[in-house]
Structure 1
Amino acid sequence: MNCILLPATSFSHDSAQISESSQINHVNNVLAAKAGDTLKIGQLGGQLGTAIIESIHSDSIQLRDVQLISAPPPKLDLTVILALPRPKVLRRLIMDMTALGVRDIILINSYRTQKSYWQSPMLARLDEFVLEGLQQGVDTIAPRISLEKRFKPFVEDKLASIMTHRGIVAHPYSGQSFAQYLRHQQSSSPSKKLPSLVCIGAEGGWIDYEIAMLAAQGCEAVNIGSRILRTEAAVNAILGQWLLQ
């Protein structure tokens, strides 16, 4: 973790307390910090800054001279619709998308999403994965995450209102590459921004019916090359475009 994020209840005037075991372990064993050292910290939902370690105990670390003076980095103007992946992949994807600064994440059902995934205990740990991503990306503002268990009603009734500025759907068999899509958008209007919505399937991608439904709402299908990538590799490859802007 590149900063330690604490809830507002952990702060009192210019002091704070770390009581979460993984954070204490990180300070002791990864940072090898001691009393008098300065830590990079932040308040969840608030500002970033620094604090000095006053004392270290087995179950808590006391901080003093807390200074929260920096705003968190701006969020990407982006909503990611992600077909619910395998549970063991979910943690990495939520962490990565949070660290990259995605503003909204929608986990949706798809034909290739196994029903058992929706009963996974990993879904109850989304806040934990978000915190890991925020501490990695040195951010304090969590993305909004919603769950949509019914694909067709969501696409027909909600998608249009979410897509504020064009949308794309990642599809390895599309005849148009993401690079071609971007060049076309720039040639038609150099001031055009990247799309505000990206749809990414689970392992195996979207089926033709799902691609057609998304296309009917204005999402253009694009590929990111001839290689078939794992979901987490595809997410990072696509979202990297937003970090380069």
Structure 2
Amino acid sequence: MNLVLLPASSQIGAQLTVTDPRRLKHLKEVHKAAPGHSLSVGLENGPMGRARLDALDDESAIFTIEHLDTPIPAPLPVHVVLALPRPRMLARSLENMAALGVKQITLLHTRRVEKSYWQSPELAPDKLTHHLILGLEQCKDTRLPTVTLEKRFKPFVEDRLPGLLESAQGLFAHPGETYACPHGRALDAPPVVLAIGPEGGFIDYEVEAFRAADMQGIHLGSRILRVETAVVSLLSRLF
């Protein structure tokens, strides 16, 4: 936790109050924080800066704000459409995307996504937010990504994807495509809608549906990667 990221309700005047057990444990065991220490703090979807720890016990930590004017990292101009992975990989993928600066995420059902994945407790709003916050705490950012669940492939591709592509370039990653993933796009370049399939890839129907939507297929080479690895590799290469 490189950033103590707190809900806006934690602030009263010039003070911040921490009561979450996870954060308190981290302050004690990892930061070895003690009264008088200055730490990086931020408010969810708000400002970021530093605050002085005034008190810390088993129930709460009290900070006094020193300043909240530290610049927040620029977001990546990308909307990731990710075939819903298994719960453990979903958690890590969300954390990685949040840490890398992705602010728009769609979790999509595809043919090779197990239907049972949609029943996972990891899709509960509080669980999704938890993993996103872990990613933001890692990279020192405060702006929470938006996560949308799309449980039906065809309505998403036919009805909602065209609107996303009105002002963005569409790419879908799939083994065996002709073109390698583009490299080194500028952050001020037009945004990208990036679709990433499950480990088995998209089926032929899904590939053709993306092509019909004017999306370009790309690859990362001949190796088949785990979803969490592919997400990081694609975003790192693109930007």
The correspondence of residues 214-229 of structure 1 with structure 2, limited to 5 A, is 214-229=210-225
Return the match for 2:196 from 189, 194, 200.
200
Asked whether the 8 Å contact 2:15–2:62 carries over to 1, the reply is yes
Asked whether the 8 Å contact 2:181–2:238 carries over to 1, the reply is no
**2:80 matched to which residue of 1?**
80
Give the letter for the 2:138 counterpart. Answer: Q
Give the letter for the 2:169 counterpart. Answer: R
Give the letter for the 1:168 counterpart. Answer: L
Give the letter for the 2:231 counterpart. Answer: V
The correspondence of residues 43-192 of structure 1 with structure 2, limited to 5 A, is 43-124=43-124, 125-163=127-165, 164-179=167-182
Shift of the alpha carbon at 1:194? Answer: 6.3
Structure 1 runs (4+) deviating above 3 angstroms are: 192-195
What is the aligned residue count? 235
Deviations 1:42-73 (A, max 9, x none): 01111110001101110111111342112321
Shift of the alpha carbon at 1:195? Answer: 5.2
Unpaired stretches in structure 1, ≥5 consecutive residues: none
Asked whether the 8 Å contact 1:34–1:56 carries over to 2, the reply is yes
Give the letter for the 1:60 counterpart. Answer: S
TM-score, normalization: structure 1?
0.91
Deviations 1:72-112 (A, max 9, x none): 21211110000000011110000100111112000000000
Give the letter for the 2:136 counterpart. Answer: L
Indicate the percent of aligned positions where both proteins have the same amino acid.
Answer: 38
Give the letter for the 2:159 counterpart. Answer: D
Asked whether the 8 Å contact 2:199–2:224 carries over to 1, the reply is no
Give the letter for the 1:215 counterpart. Answer: R
Asked whether the 8 Å contact 1:46–1:71 carries over to 2, the reply is no
Aligned equivalents of 1:45, 1:214: Cα separation in 2:
33
Unpaired stretches in structure 2, ≥5 consecutive residues: none
Cα distance change, pair 200–230 in 1 and its aligned pair in 2 (3 A):
same
Give the letter for the 2:133 counterpart. Answer: L
Give the letter for the 1:68 counterpart. Answer: L
Asked whether the 8 Å contact 2:181–2:237 carries over to 1, the reply is no
Aligned equivalents of 2:15, 2:71: Cα separation in 1:
19
**2:9 matched to which residue of 1?**
9
Aligned equivalents of 2:190, 2:178: Cα separation in 1:
19
**1:25 matched to which residue of 2?**
25
Deviations 1:185-236 (A, max 9, x none): x9xxx9x936511000012111111010011111111111111111111110
Aligned equivalents of 1:65, 1:121: Cα separation in 2:
36
SS of the residue corresponding to residue 129 of structure 1 reads helix
